[in-house]
Amino acid sequence: MTLHPIDRHESLTKTEFLEHYFKPQKPVILERAIEDWPAFDKWNLEYMKVKAGEKEVPLYDDRPVSHEDGFNEPHAKMKMSEYIELLQKEPTKYRIFLWNVLKEVPELQKDYDWPDFGLRLMKKLPMLFFGGEDSHTFMHYDIDLANIFHFHFHGEKEVILFDQDQNDYLYKIPHSLIVREDIDFKNPDYDKWPALQQAEGFTGKLSHGHVLYMPEGYWHYMRYITPGFSMSLRAIARNPKNLGKALYNVLIMRHYDNLMRRWKGQQWIDTKNQKAIDRTHAKLGLSS
């Protein structure tokens, strides 16, 4: 893989952002864009423990997808206070993702603003993501192919990004939003995954208060270097092709995949995993 550093700026004007990053669909990290938010000073694990400690939260780990799992079905649940104590005590693979601030703890909305980046943000979908030391997401893209602004709080996080134009090299699983889950993007095995050598993407690290812009449909892998959490705000895809793919994913693909899991069981998962290899190597003239 060839990974370029994500551009970094302290801040950008709306015009600068639209011209240099949104229009060319290029990622960027802003390092001092939210220091006027109350959340900048208040949001840490202890604060979340106080504000949301009694809430039951869905947890996910890095186990492979099973035919028994529903779409985005959690692997465990516990109170937020117990989960944060676990994060502070020891490394854990358990993560929280897509936890809706508006729905779960409306009071937290007083701590942040709706930044004007020149895109209309979806105000009903502010989502929180938590992870323990060295936990990570699988390489994936979001079902709606949205423009995403990812605000990081507490600790450090590593990010690897790929544009959709890199699909031929990533071992994408059919009828899915992920690539092969057994690929270690932190230290890829090129003997096992030779196509990855041709992939070209971006990488960067996020610390408290940093904002990452991920363009429409970008693949992303995120690893928590230390325990921490982030919030994502999103804006609908503007590219008609991406809008069409988003509608297909939401209205057809996820339901078809769930149906096939129930009908074919683990055979469906295993077949898709093998096709990810066969199709990738066939496109590039490689032997499987």
Query: What is the pLDDT at residue 124?
Result: 83
Tokens, residue 81: 């206070």
| Residue 218, CB-side half-sphere exposure with 13 Å CA sphere | 27
Distance CA 118, CA 13 (A): 10
What's the CA gap between 201 and 165, in Å, rounded? Answer: 10
- Expressed in angstroms, the distance from the first to the final Cα of the chain is 19
pLDDT digits (tens, 9 = 90+) for 70-122: 556 777 888 999 999 999 998 888 899 888 887 889 999 999 999 999 999 98
pLDDT of residue 287: 74
- Residue 208's pLDDT is 96
The answer on pLDDT for 2 being more than 90 is yes
Two structure tokens written together for 16: 């600068």
Q: Which residue has the higher pLDDT, 15 or 97?
A: 15
Fold classification of 2-284 is: Jelly Rolls (2.60.120)
Q: What angle do CA 272, 135, 189 make, to 5 degrees?
A: 55
Q: What is the mean pLDDT of the chain?
A: 92
- Average pLDDT of the residues in 24-31: 97
**What is the model's pTM?**
0.92
Which pLDDT score is estimated for 91? 86
45-72 tens-digit pLDDT: 999 999 999 999 989 887 666 556 555 6
The average pLDDT across 165-173 equals: 95
Work out the average pLDDT over 256-281: 92
* pLDDT of the residue at 202: 98
